[in-house]
Structure 1
Amino acid sequence: MKLTKAQTKAHNEAEAILTKDRLSDDEKLFVLDNWQEGASHNNAYAGAFFTPSGLARDFSLEIMNGHVIDLCAGIGALSLHALWSGRAESLTCVEINPAYVEIGKKIVPEANWICASVFDFAPTRRFDCAISNPPFGKVRTRSEKGMDFEFQVIEIASRMAEAGAFILPQTSAGFRYSGERYYLRSESRKFKSFSENTGITIEPGCGIDTEIYRGDWRGVSPCVEIVVCEFPAPIFSTPLQTGLFDMVA
């Protein structure tokens, strides 16, 4: 991604901040707002774009109190605001990109950072809440079902946590609220198929209009919704529907 001069200057300042052993809260926010993931990584190919700080702050309203796992954690925007909200008793962050993990450890040093694919990570405990802003759409995965990546992440999360909160593209949310005059149900064929096959219900949260942050994403301007899920009780003797790993209680 080609950066403007101003973006390059801010990115270089963020890089300098990241050489420090310990960051202030203001420095953490500066890195989140100005470290450009597209400067050295093809995030567009992976469908991965970092959550704007304002959206991450509002998202924290939907997090269930307790032990939280952040899947596809990036450099920790959702987890930082989960921590600052006081809702996260503990944090586990799973991220496949090692460069992101190293930055995340400075943004949220309180979290347990794990460099792994969400498909490979097999937790030995169950969490109270799973959170994620997953890559959207047809990202290369191991699913035999061909479902979009965001749905795969929700399915995986359902085997790890009691409930979940996610940022999804509006077309995958099952409703339209952000940027609209009023709330509308809008269930696509993929949405209905996912709900029917998994028994997972995806619902709107407390009603955050994410449209105000649409211009704050870097490299994209997606229309997204914040959704919440309460997951069915797991059957630990049965492998994941995606056939990727077994949960251990």
Structure 2
Amino acid sequence: MAKLTRAQLQGHNHAMEMLNVDRDLTIDERFAILERYHEGATHSNAATSAFFTPVELATHFAMEVPAGGHILDLCAGIGALSVATLAYHQQNPGRHKFTLVELDPEYCKVARRLLPDATVICGSIFDPDVQAMLRKQRYDVAIANPPYGTLNAANGAAPRYTGKKCEYSVIDVASDLADIGVFLIPQESVPFKMSGVSQNTFDNGSEAYQKFQRETHIELQPNMGIDTSFAEKQWRGTSIRTEIALCDFREVRAARTAAETEKTTGQTNLFSAAA
């Protein structure tokens, strides 16, 4: 558990009071709770890699999420990305459906209060039973600010990716569940730089990214030009440069099918030649 300042503790206590009011919360109240609820009040951020998305960054992220449809929020925390998406697209009421997956029971409880119409699943996205439950639905978009790196409580086996970066494992899982992906991940984990640089750059990515791409056929694409570097100092308990990465999982699944067909055909031809 982190040592909060007096102002942080007062803000967190105020958020808890707001969560307990006996009525529906307004959008403004939900954002106030997101601002004041402190993930370090009852948890060790570093141990769980539970660093909630800064609210201003979440609102910028929401600009990349298509309007409407069924949205799957993985490693959702208390639901900042989903609340921001709902608020950004509120001119289309009734067109959104949200399903959130979060490991921590306390965060799930808060998320249910902030998004009373959403389905909140408390469990690990790497749990086969959770994945089986998720496959019963169709999701238009998967969104996530997943735990980063290798030292966190959320790591688990991904369907194809064999490395240790949790953000890649989460995206691999998402690729089987949704048509489109929108993810907030470290700049070092994508093959482009758009944030905090004077000129956008695009390359083949790090060795870790290339391994991820080879094993999953997933190529992470840049967003419309959002520079997230403004939020580097807004994270609580850490400072990190991120990028908003996009992916069309329909193309990914088609590429996987083509690769499997080519592999099967090659094996058949080899067998025929040997015979």
TM over 0.5: yes
Partner of 2:45: 43
Within a 5 Å distance, the mapping from 1:160-175 to structure 2 comes to: 160-175=177-192
Aligned amino acid, residue 225 of structure 1: E
> 2:98 and 2:38 mapped to 1: Cα distance?
24
CA contact (8 A) 2:58 2:80 kept: yes
Aligned residue number for residue 253 of structure 2: 233
Distance 1:109 1:221 in 2: 31
Within a 5 Å distance, the mapping from 1:20-31 to structure 2 comes to: 20-21=21-22, 22-31=24-33
Larger Rg: 2
1:1-249 matches, within 5 Å, as: 1-21=2-22, 22-65=24-67, 66-86=69-89, 89-120=96-127, 121-122=130-131, 123=134, 124-138=136-150, 139-140=152-153, 141-143=155-157, 145-186=162-203, 187-231=205-249, 232-233=252-253
1:95/1:117 contact within 8 Å kept: yes
Deviation at 1:142, TM superposition (A): 2.7
SS of the residue 1:62 aligns to: coil
- Stretches (4+) displaced over 6 A: none
Residue by residue, what CA displacement relative to the aligned partner does 1:102-135 show, whole Å, maximum 9, x if unpaired? 0011111121111111112221022111000000
From the two aligned structures, give the one with the greater helix fraction: 2
Query: What is the aligned-residue RMSD (CA, Å)?
Result: 1.7
Answer yes or no: is the 8 Å Cα contact 1:72–1:132 preserved in 2: yes
Counterpart of 1:199, as a letter, is: H
Can you give the 5+ residue segments of structure 2 that lack an aligned partner in the other structure?
258-275
Question: What amino acid maps onto 2:61 in structure 1?
Answer: F
Give the match's secondary structure for 1:117. coil
Q: Cα distance, 1:73 vs. partner?
A: 0.5
Identity %: 40
Q: Residue type matched to 2:165 in 1? A: D
Q: How many residues align?
A: 236
Partner Cα distance (1:64, 1:159) in 2: 19
